[in-house]
């Protein structure tokens, strides 16, 4: 079975692609490679990599593809605000284009890599029927994308949206701008964790291998239980308040729990219910923040992760690319970088 993963060189994509090939799938990655190709180097000869953009790729690559997992995006709130217009072009219009072309080219399943951030901050426990409350361009693009692609679902084209919790754990394109990963880096580099005031805020989390496995679960599920459906991806047990989570991370690694506060007091929270994915897809995560923190700390100690790699802070890296774009335009080289 042939699976095309857009954004497959990214943080989640580069883990997911490895799990897909382990399970015997033929994999095509469509990615602009904004963070380079290092994340796929080891498996380069086992997959097909197409360096192109969701906004203008040649649709013939969809011929013979059975499943599309659409991950390509400017992938967090701050990156999404650098150039809101571009964020909408890529995360909304570009991915709707992928979905429509997939349907036209006979792809059978289309899976959206959406986010629990569509709920914004709300009281109570939020499930798939809760109203959305997108507070940023990134979250708005996800809502627009979902609302235009879920209605494409029919008997021949199965569409499923996976709203992922905040992801953590080791990846081949590492992101230290994600909460748990950043806490581990703080302990490794500075011996302390920076915690956003006042630490009582709730957030849901999921390990990168678990969220990847949720995509595989949808590929392998009968269409009638996933078609046109939205699932939150995570587990009820992994809704955490930030301050106790930071302590848990330090304890898991076995180092002293030192911390410093930053930001003005902000206790805006959201807690998410993951009952639906557990009941319908029988999905429950195998990993916890404890294992995630340990594997990252080990990788840092062994030199498998470089603490100061500029690509690990997504917004900073995209800012550099935008600056490069400007310079190239000034000297009249019209190579679009972003
Ligand atoms: N990491 C998380 O905590 C998290 C949580 C919820 C949802 N998500 C969503 O999951 C998806 C993957 O996230 P990630 O953490 O792996 O992000 P990432 O930034 O590591 O990966 C995104 C990939 O998309 C590629 N890309 C960006 N724009 C492109 C374009 N126009 N055309 C082709 N490729 C393009 C990038 O080169 C990159 O390899 C995103 O849609 C993100 O919004 C992530």
In a domain, 27, yes or no: yes
- Asked if residue 166 has its Cβ within 6 Å of ligand 1, the reply is yes
Task: Please give the full DSSP string across 15-47, using - where no structure is assigned.
Answer: HHHHHHHHTT-EEEEEE--TT-SGGGGGGGGGS
- In a domain? residue 184: no
Atom of ligand 1 nearest to the CA of 142: 43
With 0-12 / 13-18 / 19 or more C-beta atoms within 10 angstroms meaning exposed / middle / buried, residue 155 is: exposed
Distance between CA atoms of residues 179 and 117, nearest Å: 14
Buried b / exposed e along 245-281 (16+ C-beta atoms within 10 A)? bbebbbebbeeeeebeeeeeeeeebbbbbbebbbeeb
Q: Is residue 313 part of a domain?
A: no
pLDDT at position 329: 82
Pocket of ligand 1, candidates 53, 75, 88: which has the most ligand atoms within 8 Å of its Cβ, to mutate? 75
In the 8-state DSSP scheme, what is residue 132? P
Nearest C-alpha to atom 23 of ligand 1 is from which residue?
A: 7
Q: Is residue 307 part of a domain?
A: no
The 3-state DSSP class for residue 250 equals helix
pLDDT at 184: 98
pLDDT, average across residues 38-53 = 98
Per the domain annotation, does 308 fall within a domain?
Answer: no
Percent of the chain with pLDDT over 90: 93
- The reply to whether 177 falls in a domain is no
pLDDT at 308 over 80: yes
Residue 272: its H or E element? strand 271-272
What are the tens digits of pLDDT across the range 180-218? 999 999 999 999 999 999 999 999 999 999 999 999 999
Instruction: Place 331 in a pLDDT band, splitting at 50, 70 and 90.
Output: confident
pLDDT at 332 over 80: no
- pLDDT for res 32: 97
Report the alpha-carbon angle 179-182-186, nearest 5: 135
Mean pLDDT calculated for residue range 37-48: 98
Atom in ligand 1 nearest the alpha carbon of residue 314: 19
CATH number at residue 228: 3.40.50.720
How many domains does the chain fold into? 1
Q: Please identify which residue in the block is written with the tokens 């890296």.
A: 317
Q: At 336, is the pLDDT very low, low, confident or very high (cuts 50, 70, 90)?
A: confident
Q: Is 19 within the bounds of a domain?
A: yes
Task: Confirm whether 146 is domain-assigned.
Answer: yes
* pLDDT tens track for 243-300: 999 999 999 999 999 999 999 887 788 999 999 999 999 999 999 999 999 999 999 9
Domain span at 27: 2-171+205-237+268-287
Query: Who's near 7: CB < 8 A, 6+ residues apart?
Result: 13, 30, 31, 70, 71, 72, 73, 75, 113
Cα 151 to middle of ligand 1, angstroms: 23
Nearest CA to ligand 1 atom 14: 11
Helices and strands (DSSP H and E) totals, the chain: 12, 14
The pLDDT score that the predictor gives to residue 2 is: 98
Q: If you take atom 6 of ligand 1, which residue's CA is the nearest one? A: 115
Is the minimum distance from the CB of 314 to ligand 1 under 6 angstroms?
yes
Could you tell me which residues come within 8 angstroms of residue 147 by beta carbon, excluding any fewer than 6 positions away?
none
The C-alpha angle 266, 81, 195, rounded to 5 degrees, equals 30
The pick from 17, 58, 70, 73 for probing ligand 1's pocket by mutation, whose C-beta has the most ligand atoms within 8 angstroms, reads: 73
| 337 has a pLDDT exceeding 90 | no
181 lines ligand 1 (CB under 6 A): no
Residue 138, SS3 per DSSP: helix
pTM of the model: 0.97
């Amino acid at each position: 079975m042939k699976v095309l993963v857009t954004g497959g060189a990214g943080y989640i994509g580069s883990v997911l692609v490895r799990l897909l090939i382990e399970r015997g799938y033929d994999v095509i990655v469509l990615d602009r490679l904004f963070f380079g190709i290092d994340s796929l180097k080891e498996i380069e000869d086992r997959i097909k990599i197409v360096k192109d953009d969701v906004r203008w790729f040649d649709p013939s690559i969809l011929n013979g593809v059975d499943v599309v997992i659409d991950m390509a995006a400017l992938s967090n709130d701050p990156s999404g605000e650098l150039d809101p217009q571009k964020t909408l072009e890529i995360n909304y219009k570009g991915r709707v284009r992928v979905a429509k072309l997939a349907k036209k080219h006979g792809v059978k399943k289309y899976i959206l890599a959406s986010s629990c951030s569509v709920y914004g901050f709300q009281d109570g426990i939020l499930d798939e029927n809760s109203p959305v409350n997108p507070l940023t361009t990134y979250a708005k693009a996800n809502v627009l994308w979902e609302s235009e692609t879920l209605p494409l679902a029919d008997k021949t084209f199965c569409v499923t949206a996976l709203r992922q919790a905040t992801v953590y754990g080791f990846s081949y394109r590492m992101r230290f701008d994600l909460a748990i990963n950043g806490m581990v880096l703080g302990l490794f580099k500075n011996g302390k964790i920076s915690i956003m005031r006042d630490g009582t805020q709730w957030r849901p989390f999921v390990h990168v291998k678990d969220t990847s496995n949720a995509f595989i679960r949808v590929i392998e599920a009968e269409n009638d239980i996933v078609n046109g459906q939205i699932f939150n991806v995570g587990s009820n047990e992994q809704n955490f308040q930030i301050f106790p989570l930071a302590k848990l991370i330090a304890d898991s690694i076995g180092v002293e729990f030192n911390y410093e506060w930053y930001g003005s007091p902000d206790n805006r929270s959201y807690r998410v219910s993951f009952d639906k994915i557990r009941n319908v897809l029988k999905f429950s995560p195998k990993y916890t923040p404890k294992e995630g923190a340990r594997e990252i700390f080990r990788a840092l100690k062994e030199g498998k992760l470089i603490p100061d790699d500029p690509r690990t802070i997504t917004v900073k890296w995209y800012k550099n690319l935008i600056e490069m774009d400007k310079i190239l335009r000034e000297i009249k080289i019209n190579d679009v970088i972003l």
